[in-house]
Amino acid sequence: MFSKDIYIKRRAQLAGSVEKGIILLLGNSEAAANYPSNTYKFRQDSTFLYYIGLNEPDLAAVIDTESGEEVLFGNNVDIDDIIWMGPQPSVDEKGSSVGISRTAPLGELKNYLENIRRQGRKIHYLPPYRNHNKILLNNLLGIPTDSLKANASVELIKAVVAMRLIKGSEELKEIEHACNIGYAMHYTAMKLAKLGMTEQELVGVMEGIAASEGSMVSFPTILSQQGQTLHNHKHDGILTEGRLIVIDAGAETNMNYTSDFTRTLPSSGKFTSQQKDIYRIVAAANNLAVEMAKPGLSYKDVHLAASKVLAEGLKSIGLMKGDTEEAVAAGAHALFMPHGLGHNMGLDVHDMEDLGEDYVGYDDTYKRSSQFGLASLRMGKMLQPGHVITVEPGIYFIPALIEKWKEEKINTPFINFDKLKDYYTFGGIRLEDDIVITETGCRLLGAKRLPITVEDVEREMAK
Ligand code: GLY
Ligand code: MN
């Protein structure tokens, strides 16, 4: 936990940004995996962590934006809990550790909120993403579960997004720590990868590092020689000569700040010349985005500039053709990179996706495009100092997508479909780093950058 002053200040700022009413923040509960007492690893709600700081289940808090009153709702443990879980701080002690002096049992939350509703005052809540909290909110507010998202407070969403998007120095320290754990995970995989070993062995070692140095992984590790599938969580392959291993993985610190890196390794330690060509194009797009990202540019601008590097590179090896500007404007490069350049990152690896990506990555000036590829860009708006974003260009050869475009004659002036046959078993390449926007540009996060050039990757793998 950070010092309690940080949480007090954050809550005061939030209360000042929401006009009238009560802000209701729900923490998460334990979630059963296969029977009630065998739970998944507990993960607190990120907004609850940001404002309340308490990393335990079954808590809720309210903030009265007019009187300033704050109440923490939770239950004290009984002797049975103490026998199984050991002594626990009381709810009063928990509240006081984060600057909240008034507490009440969780069962009183419903009465408290009914009283507010009787007074005709607004209750601002965030869109719930777990069924437990949907049922709880339905019970507390009487709103049908399928209408909860539509009735969530846009004013509160926008206020939370505005604060959480700009990272404070204490948060950047945690994110740097997550990046350093992420570095160790990836660097170890780079050293360990050997022909004949299973993908699962690499995943196990990487996730073990995340668990031993932090809270856990920031999302289930993506590691596969079938890298043309963007989020491939199957790890049943054996490292085989001539393949590329896409490894997209990150860590969470004990305070739940995240990292997210991707590197693509040659399974044998040596890239083929076809792989080198594609790899260097992706690395150039990554480097350009890192050089370019700064306040005053939108991340959509950076995405499009990186896309031009990809299109230009693909033209240079004969896979694309025509005018680069026109090809990118038409979205032709999205055949090879059907995703966005990156996303915000913080307490969530896709930061605040639960609040609605369009509130996080877009605004009244920057609207999400509906064009294939660009539509998947999670962050499009103007960059500001304190934004933490991933830079993750890629090139993939997805046979089903290539066949579809070919059949439907999509972007035919820009694609050399005939040449693509040679790439149907190529897989994919993605190279991802994490950056923070500064006053004048941006800075890579983490003490050291993972090897990214063809030469450095081959050198590290040979050692
Ligand atoms: N690292 C997974 C993602 O960005 O979606
Ligand atoms: Mn990512």
Ligand 1 atom, smallest distance to 390 CA: 4
Six-digit token string for 403: 């066949």
Q: Which of 56, 98, 390 is nearest to 218 (CA)?
A: 390
Same domain, 212 and 253: yes
Same domain, 273 and 412: yes
Which CATH number fits the domain that encloses residue 16? Answer: 3.40.350.10
Q: What is the pLDDT of residues 26-38, one digit of tens each?
A: 999 999 999 999 9
Same domain, 103 and 174: no
Q: How far is CA 243 from the centre of its chain?
A: 27
Ligand 1 atom, smallest distance to 342 CA: 4
Does 248 sit in the ligand 1 pocket, CB within 6 Å? yes
Which CATH number fits the domain that encloses residue 396? Answer: 3.90.230.10
If 0-12 CB within 10 Å is exposed, 13-18 middle and 19+ buried, where does residue 339 land?
Answer: buried
Q: Which residue range is the domain that position 43 belongs to? A: 4-165
Same domain, 220 and 330: yes
Does 357 sit in the ligand 1 pocket, CB within 6 Å? no
If 0-12 CB within 10 Å is exposed, 13-18 middle and 19+ buried, where does residue 211 land?
Answer: middle
If 0-12 CB within 10 Å is exposed, 13-18 middle and 19+ buried, where does residue 418 land?
Answer: exposed
Same domain, 182 and 145: no
Q: Which of 435, 165, 134 is nearest to 288 (CA)?
A: 435
pLDDT at 232: 86
Same domain, 404 and 345: yes
Does 171 sit in the ligand 1 pocket, CB within 6 Å? no
Listed residues 131, 146, 165: the one ending a domain: 165
Closest ligand relative to 222 C-alpha: 1
Same domain, 329 and 404: yes
Same domain, 218 and 336: yes
Listed residues 125, 146, 165: the one ending a domain: 165
- Helix (H) / strand (E) element for 265: namely strand 261-266
**Residue 391 Cα to ligand 2 middle (Å):** 8
Same domain, 109 and 232: no
Which residues touch 173 (CB under 8 Å, ≥6 apart)? none
User: One digit per residue, pLDDT tens: the chain, 463 residues?
Assistant: 999 999 999 999 999 999 899 999 999 999 999 999 999 999 999 999 999 999 999 999 999 999 999 999 999 999 999 999 899 999 999 999 999 999 999 999 999 999 999 999 999 999 999 999 999 999 999 999 999 999 999 999 999 999 999 999 999 999 999 999 999 999 999 999 999 999 999 999 999 999 999 999 999 999 999 999 999 889 999 999 999 999 999 999 999 999 999 999 999 999 999 999 999 999 999 999 999 999 999 999 999 999 999 999 999 999 999 999 999 999 999 999 999 999 999 999 999 999 999 999 999 999 999 999 999 999 999 999 999 999 999 999 999 999 999 999 999 999 999 999 999 999 999 999 999 999 999 999 999 999 999 999 999 999 8
Ligand 1 atom, smallest distance to 343 CA: 4
Does 348 sit in the ligand 1 pocket, CB within 6 Å? no
The SS3 of residue 60 is strand
Same domain, 103 and 201: no
Q: Which of 201, 223, 268, 270 is nearest to 241 (CA)?
A: 268
Listed residues 165, 193, 228: the one ending a domain: 165
Same domain, 150 and 205: no
Q: How many domains does the chain have?
A: 2
* Strand intervals (E) in 32-175: 32-35, 38-39, 60-64, 70-73, 102-104, 123-124
Same domain, 221 and 93: no
**Residue 260 Cα to ligand 1 middle (Å):** 7
Residue nearest to atom 2 of ligand 1 (CA): 248
Residue of 350, 352, 435 with the most ligand 1 atoms within 8 Å of its CB, for mutation: 350
Does 260 sit in the ligand 1 pocket, CB within 6 Å? yes
Q: Rounded to whole angstroms, how far apart are CA atoms 139 and 353? A: 25
